[in-house]
Amino acid sequence: MNHIYYVECDATHASNFVFDIPQGHHCWLLVVTKTPAQFWVDGELKEYPAHSAILYQANQKIYYKACVDKYVNNWIRFESDEPYVMKTSLPFGVPFSLDDPDYCHKLFELLVIEHNFNRDYKNSSIDGLLRTLFNKLRESYCHNGFTPQYYSLLRLRSAIQSNPSDAWTVSKMADILSISPGYLQIIYKKTFGISCMEDVINGRIRLAKEYLSHGSQSIAEVAFQCGYHNVEHFCRQFKQITGLTPKKFQNQAPLFSEAQEEPVISS
């Protein structure tokens, strides 16, 4: 069971902001920064970058302060007897970088809504959101070395996955990040293990498989909806990835299980 005392998104403070509770809270406190901040860690004040998360357990010393003109964070103070909190492998009182801060921010926004509205499934919804948030925190803690460049690449990849049918080109992607096309291709492949255009193609083929399996459009209509202006090109890429022509896939679609692993382009 969880009980939220307070949760806030985009809490904004001036440059002289200091949060100092020597004896800590009687409950859990989770803070996620959106700007750089200084935290008391291992007996000294250390600066940590934006998109850092820190979890305090009950009665643990809490001290952090702004180190920029405007300090912004998300935070939640809560009680929990759930194993995913009580037995978490996350460190206490030591910040670590988030690998998907935008995703975590959306979870905080939803937690604010669920906390402030008395809905029928409020407790269940809060539990689901907190579980997901702690999953994302654990994923992040297993990684390290995140840079502002990584977060820009992650936002680009999210945009590609959300809208694979857009007119993506390497030049367009590079312009979004204000870097050269060649450099984008190098760092994208290094970061995600796949090229940016391979990501686009995989996204388009996944979308095409959905339309072919559950829609009534023609092959040409599916190709156009997935961002292709040449049906032959679409058919060639589709067969390269799935091993089937779009028509054959469409005819056999009822035989495919939704749980079947999808083949993707990879290096």
Beta bridge partners of 55: 30, 92
Mean pLDDT of the chain: 91
Beta strands in the chain (DSSP E): 2-14, 18-21, 28-33, 37-41, 44-48, 52-56, 62-66, 70-80, 96-97
pLDDT at 119: 85
Confidence of residue 191 (pLDDT cuts 50, 70, 90): confident
Could you report the per-residue pLDDT of 135-173, keeping only the tens digit for each? 999 999 987 666 678 888 989 999 999 999 999 999 999
Rounded to whole angstroms, the Cα distance separating 193 from 187 reads 10
Beta bridge partners of 20: 63
Q: What percent of the chain has pLDDT over 90?
A: 84
Task: Report in angstroms the alpha-carbon separations of 127 from 32, 55, 123, 254, 265.
Answer: 19, 17, 6, 36, 37
Structure tokens at 47: 């600066």
pTM of the model: 0.74
Could you report the per-residue pLDDT of 203-256, keeping only the tens digit for each? 999 999 999 988 888 999 999 999 999 999 999 999 999 999 999 998 887 655
Rounded to whole angstroms, the Cα distance separating 263 from 247 reads 18
Domain ranges within the chain, ordered by starting residue: 2-141, 148-255
pLDDT at 256: 53
29 with 92: CB under 8 angstroms? no
Fold of 148-255: Arc Repressor Mutant, subunit A (1.10.10)
Could you report the per-residue pLDDT of 10-33, keeping only the tens digit for each? 999 999 999 999 999 999 999 999
Whether residue 259 has pLDDT greater than 50: no
pLDDT at 179: 93
Which of the following CATH numbers is that of domain 2-141: 2.60.120.10, 3.20.20.220, 3.40.50.720, 2.60.120.280? 2.60.120.280
pLDDT at 201: 96
Could you report the per-residue pLDDT of 105-141, keeping only the tens digit for each? 999 999 999 999 988 899 999 999 999 999 999 999 9
pLDDT at 254: 62
